[in-house]
């Protein structure tokens, strides 16, 4: 693979060595060594690199062009689901969510065609063992929530900060979401006036 071409693609707005490192599951130093030619690119890394860059490599006459083209993920397999940043917000188990993506993941079969899905890492153990601290959850914002499903409940405070709670939905009333957590075990109400939005968690990917 033409390392110079990769470096040129990483200079585009929205792309970076750090982003490529996250996509590969490597540290930034490993990507830096790769771009300097001090580390060989492994064949199984080609799909991830080309998927992250979202670009078609040129035919440089080295004979690797066809291999690189075959390694490009099909459009439905490109990592296009944003992973939002998350951080602990308070003792109630709430999480601060930031819509600036820290990564992108591929869609599973059940998420094909879903509009505007997103993912984030759960902080805290209030839903253990159903959802553990560090698990990644994927949200489908297009389907209605229903009792018996794990949901993320969202509110925006006066400063525009988005807070989230991950709980099991038990019942929906006019004014409240009746929810459950497992650690410590507790059933309680979330007022809709405060937690205005509930979205269905459709996938869990283990941390």
DSSP string, 79-116: --EEEEEEEE--TT--EEEEEEEEEEEPPPGGGTT-SS
Q: Are residues 90 and 50 in the same domain?
A: no
Q: Are residues 102 and 176 in the same domain?
A: yes
Considering 93-107, 144-158, 181-195, the range whose residues carry the highest mean pLDDT is: 181-195
The closest alpha carbon to 145, from 169, 166, 165, 163, belongs to: 169
The CATH number of residue 60's host domain is 1.10.260
Neighbours of 170 (CB within 10 A): 15
Q: Is the pTM of this model over 0.75?
A: no
Q: Are residues 62 and 103 in the same domain?
A: no
**Final residue before a domain boundary, out of 15, 43, 73:** 73
Q: How far apart are CA 171 and CA 160, in angstroms?
A: 28
Task: Supply the pLDDT for residue 75.
Answer: 46
User: In the predicted model, what is the mean pLDDT of the chain?
Assistant: 83
**Final residue before a domain boundary, out of 45, 73, 101:** 73
Q: Are residues 186 and 100 in the same domain?
A: yes
Per-residue pLDDT, averaged over 158-183, amounts to 92
Q: Are residues 98 and 199 in the same domain?
A: yes
Q: Are residues 87 and 137 in the same domain?
A: yes
**Final residue before a domain boundary, out of 43, 73, 103:** 73
Residue pLDDT, tens place only, 93-135: 789 998 888 888 888 888 888 888 999 999 999 999 999 999 9
Q: Are residues 61 and 124 in the same domain?
A: no
Q: How far apart are CA 80 and CA 49, in angstroms?
A: 14
Task: Supply the pLDDT for residue 8.
Answer: 87
Domain of residue 61 covers: 3-73
Higher pLDDT, residue 26 or 172: 172
Residue pLDDT, tens place only, 37-93: 888 777 667 778 877 887 767 655 554 445 554 544 444 457 888 999 999 887 677
Residue 187 reports pLDDT greater than 50: yes
Task: Supply the pLDDT for residue 188.
Answer: 96
Higher pLDDT, residue 146 or 38: 146
Q: Are residues 194 and 110 in the same domain?
A: yes
Residue 193 reports pLDDT greater than 80: yes
Residue 162 reports pLDDT greater than 70: yes
Task: Please tell me the total count of domains within the chain.
Answer: 2
């Amino acid at each position: 693979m033409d390392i110079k071409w990769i470096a040129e693609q990483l200079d585009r707005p929205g792309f970076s060595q750090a982003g490529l490192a996250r996509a590969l599951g490597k540290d930034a130093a490993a990507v830096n060594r790769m771009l300097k030619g001090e580390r060989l690119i492994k064949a199984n890394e080609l799909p991830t690199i080309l998927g992250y860059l979202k670009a078609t490599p040129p035919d440089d006459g080295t004979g690797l062009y066809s291999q690189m083209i075959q390694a490009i993920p099909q459009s439905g397999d490109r990592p296009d689901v944003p992973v939002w940043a998350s951080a602990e917000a308070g003792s109630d188990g709430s999480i601060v969510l930031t819509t600036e993506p820290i990564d992108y993941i591929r869609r599973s079969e059940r998420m094909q065609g879903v509009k505007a899905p997103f993912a984030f890492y759960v902080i805290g153990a209030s839903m253990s063992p159903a959802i553990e601290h560090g698990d990644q959850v994927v949200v489908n914002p297009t389907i209605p929530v229903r009792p018996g499903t794990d949901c993320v409940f969202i509110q925006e405070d006066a400063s525009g900060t988005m807070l989230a709670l991950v709980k099991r939905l038990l019942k929906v009333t006019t004014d409240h979401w009746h929810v459950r957590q497992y650690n410590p075990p507790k059933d309680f109400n979330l007022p809709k006036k405060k937690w205005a939005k509930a979205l269905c968690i459709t996938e869990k990917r283990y941390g």
